[in-house]
Structure formats: C-alpha cells, structure tokens
Structure 1
Amino acid sequence: MPPSSSLAARSGGHVTDTFAMLGRRQEIALVLSIFALIAFFSFTSEYFFTVRNLTNVLGQGSLVMIAGIGVAIVFISGEVDISVGSLQAAVAIPLIEVMNATGSLWLGLAAALLLGLIVGGINGYLSAYVGINSLIVTLGMLFILRGGVYLYTGKTAIPDDIYLESFFIIGNERFLGVVPWPAIIALVLLLIFMYVMSYRPFGRKVYAVGGNAEVARLAGFPVKRVKFICFVISGVMATISGILLASRLGSAVHLAGIGFEFQVVAAVVLGGVSLSGGIGSLLGMALGVLILAFMSNGLGMLDLPTEWQLVITGIIIIIAVAFDEMKRRRAG
C-alpha cells in the first residue's frame, strides 16, 4: 500500500475509532428516550400504543429519514444542505408531468431523479469546487426551487391524471397490510448507507474529510470530489422523499416541503450528527427522526396546540446543538 493510502486509511480509521464509544453512548441514550416517550404516551393516550398508530408514525417519519440520510452525510463531510424541502416539491413536477404525458411511471421517476441529480450536482460543484459557503449555496437553491415551483404551477396543484396504481401503491399501501411501503424503503436505504458509511472506503473518506479537510487532503483524499458526491447523494435522497410525498398527495403541490428542511436538520442534529463535521452516525439520525415523530404524534393525541409542539421541538434542537458544542470542545 502506498504511504499516502496507508496514512489515509489510518486517518479515516482514527476518526471512526475516536468517536465510536461516544457515539454508542449517545445512541443508547436516544433509544432509552424513545422507550420513555412510548411509555409516557401509552399511559396518557389509549390509542397511542396500537399497531396502527405506531406503524403510522413510522410512515410519517420515513420521508424525514430518507432525506435525513443525505443531509446527515453532507453534515458529516463538514458541509450543510438546507435545500431539501424545496427540492422535495420541485421533483414532483417532472414526475407528474412526464407520467401524465407518457403514461409511464418509470419515465416519471427518471425525470424526477434527473432533476435531483442536477440540483445535488450544482450544490456540490458550487460548494466543493468553487468554494462558496454551502449554507449560502443551498439557501439560494431553496429560494430558486421554491420560486420556480410557484412560477410553474401558478400556485395550483398539478394532479396525477392517469391514476397509475403502481404510483399510488409506493406512497400509500402497506407491506403485508401492516407496515407502510415508505417505511420499508426508508429502512432499506438506511441499512445500505449505514453499511457504506461504516465499512466502505467512501464512508471513511467522508468522516476524514469532515473531521479535518486539510489533513485529509495531505493524506491523499480527494476532498472536493468526496464533498461533491455527498451533495449528489443528498439530492437523490430528497428526490426519493419527494416522489413518495407526491404519491401520497396524488399530485405535485406547490406547498409541499415547506419547513421540511428544518424537520430534517432537527432530526439530524438531535441524532448526534455534529454541525462541525466528522462526527455522527446514520443510526443516530434515524433515532432522532423516531424521537421527533413519536413526540409529534403523542403531543397531537394529547390535543396540544401545534404552536406548543413547535416550541418544544425548538427547545430540543437548541439543547441538541448545545450538547454537540460541548462534545466538540471536549474532543478538541
């Protein structure tokens, strides 16, 4: 093995090993929090702890989890992506329009994925290669996509006129009549990317680049390419969540995805993914999604006004970010 490759392997392994114990402790705390939430809401609401409700929660959280995979990977690489909500709305337009024009689900899916790849590629190129701050790039993309959706739709939903059963199934039907298909898709994608981030060279590169981009560059990592790929992955994951949302709604809705990016970022940060990069896991992100999903569902069953649900979610985000900052200072 060449010296640079050996150093790179040691660098990626060092980043993973350093925070493995802390990560496991945080994931255990997140699991215990989920059990506590389930126990609390089970006692306060007779309808909470039912198979139907729990699987509904999984279905509701699946779109956040899918997009969260991509956003978490971007965060771990040391960058930010907040354009996922607007992208979720935008990809529904080529999806529905192409399906209506051709009668083909596959062509519609291809059109949606192409848009997601283009947006992810633009975000990645401007951030990684041009060097523009990724928060500014993706904030600008958020407004561009949202404005484009409003202009194209005229703020009117574009319906699925051909009513393809296969399109309806992916967002609304249940596997074996129990678990929503979006939850199954989210689980499969989560397991795939957990494997990639934990056991494949690309995952080690992402952690190394996010931990210290300059050290990673000196170790031989293609820093810009790694970050570019992370943004493309985020674009694809947001696209998949957008396809599932369009299936649920049966149309391309201009209001779709508003505030969605904040749900995703909240879950990612709550799950222990560091805003400074190099720290966190997709399992933690997934647990963060479940905590917020169970909390939202349970508070809704207690008839707590939406305003208070937002306040509580905001408090949790601030606490999670504060904990991340303390963890970063200790690591430093």
Structure 2
Amino acid sequence: MPQATLSIGIIGAGIMGERLLRAILEQAQGSLRVSGIWDPAPAAMARIAAAFPTVPQLADAAAIIAASDCVYIASPPASHLDHARAALAAGKSVFAEKPLAVDVTDARAFVASAGERGAVNFPFASSLAVATLQDWVAQGEIGQVSRIEIEVAFATWPRSWQADAAAWLDKPAQGGFTREVVSHFLFLSRRLVGPLHRLSASVRFPEAGKAERAIEARLFAGEVPVVLKGGVGTTAKDDHNIWMLEGDKGAVRLCDWSIAERRLPDGSWQHAPGAMSNEQARPLALKRQLEGVVRLTQGQSHHLATLTEALNVQEIVEGILAS
C-alpha cells in the first residue's frame, strides 16, 4: 500500500482524538488522509464538525473500522481492547491511546494474540528531547547508569484543560494521573533502560469515588532501581514532571515533558541547545508518530511503542493502583 493512500480512522473525539486529527491534517498534502471520526457523544461530534467541517463523521466504530487502513483509538481506556480486537479482526492496524487497557488479564490475552499489527501512542518514542538524552548517554555523559527518579505533580486533578473528561478521568475505574501521566515516564524508563519489574508501592485515595491523589513506588528497569513519587495539590502548576537518569559520572533529565538537561560538574543544570516548550515540541513528535503509524500499517519496522512495551507499563501502573 503506498504511503500516500494511507487512511486513518479515529474512534474518540476528545482531546487526544482532536489532537491527532489536527496533526494528520497538517501533514504534507496527500501523505495521509482521515477516513472519518466517530464519538458516541453528540457534543463532541458537534465540536469537531464546527472546527473541521470537511472531516467525515461516520455512524459508529464499525463504520470507522470499515473505512480505514489504520484505526486510532482515543476513547476512554476500558473500551480500548474491544475496538482494537474489532479492528484487527477486520485486517486493519491499530494505533491506540495509552493505557493499553485497565484489565491486566484481558490485556495479556490481547497482546498474546495481536501479533505486530498494533502500537500504542507514547509520544516519548518520537521525542526530540528524548533523542538528545539518548545521545548524551551514548557519549558517556553519565557513565554507568545507577538510578532513575520520576517526580510528577499537579495543582488539581484532572488538569484544567481536561475538565470536560472528569466523568471518567477522575474516577478510579479508568482515570487518575498514574494511568494518564505516570505511564509515559514508565514507558520512557523501559524504552531507555529495560523491562519494568519488582514493584513495591503505596497509593492514596482520600476522596471517595475519586481517582488517586498520591503515589510512591520503587521498582526496577532492567537492573536499575527506579524511585517514583507523584501527588495532587503539591504544585501551583497544572502539570510538573521530572524524569532523571543518574550515573556514576553525571546525570541527565527531562523536565516538563520536553526540556532535556544535563548536570554540570558544579551541580547546576544546563538546557540542551534549542530546547523547546511542550507546546512547541508536541507537533514535531506527533509528526514522527504518524510516520511510525505509516510504517506500522505497511508492515515495516517502526519506532512506536509496541504492545509488549505497553503491556509491561500497564502491569506496573495497575500494580501501583492496586497497592
């Protein structure tokens, strides 16, 4: 199938569905096309119709699958696997939002049967800042890796720009910042260092019927210890995060999603040349993600997060939340 004919259908018209839709439309003319979008919420479909009047709105998920070469699944997490199974059964490739699922047993069965026709949207797989971190490590900047530290903090949960999704995003069944945010940094740890295992964790659910408000965890990426801490109400910022990789000669870190930094001999931190804010970096990462989706759908090797990687992340996430 020529790259120019690749059609992507979108299930879910929330923030992530709209974000990828916009990224597809911004690609070079003819490289990709949107076969259609569907969401069960009329308000979401009306918003998309107003913003993107030329994008086809289809009747249901089955119609999206039938019209597409690849199906992007951006619905709430509990529905991911049903849509993915239907798409794979129809011979289509699948690009799903994280988390892969919320039921670990079901996810394991899915991954065992899905083969290599699916991937999960962890944008760190396409991040230029992450590529900079990898270059520094390869150049010996930090020496022998000794530990990973992950810190996430939020003024409120959900974040202000996610308030419309609070009906599921702030519920323990599918939501919470561990699934929504921490999973990205767990993926990064796995991708750069090694498989995640040997978890011990604690979690706080102080508000009945609401998602978690604090977590602490220790685990390993390969043979490297990982220390993780996250909380709500611990910063004035909508979203603050640091992922740090430390070695016997130095350290590098990723701050607030997109700023690569390295620690200088005097202990201060230096931005990478050309470091960009997340708002500047996101379109570039999405473009590279879509390049990976094309390769996935064409049956070629790609750099996207594999289903196996996503399952490992999900196992840790659900282990934290069950602790």
Which band: TM-score by shorter chain?
under 0.3
Structure in which a larger fraction of residues adopt helix: 1
TM-score by length of 2: 0.26
Structure in which a larger fraction of residues adopt strand: 2
> Larger RCO: Structure 1 or Structure 2 (Cα < 8 Å, ≥ 6 residues apart)?
1
TM-score by length of 1: 0.25
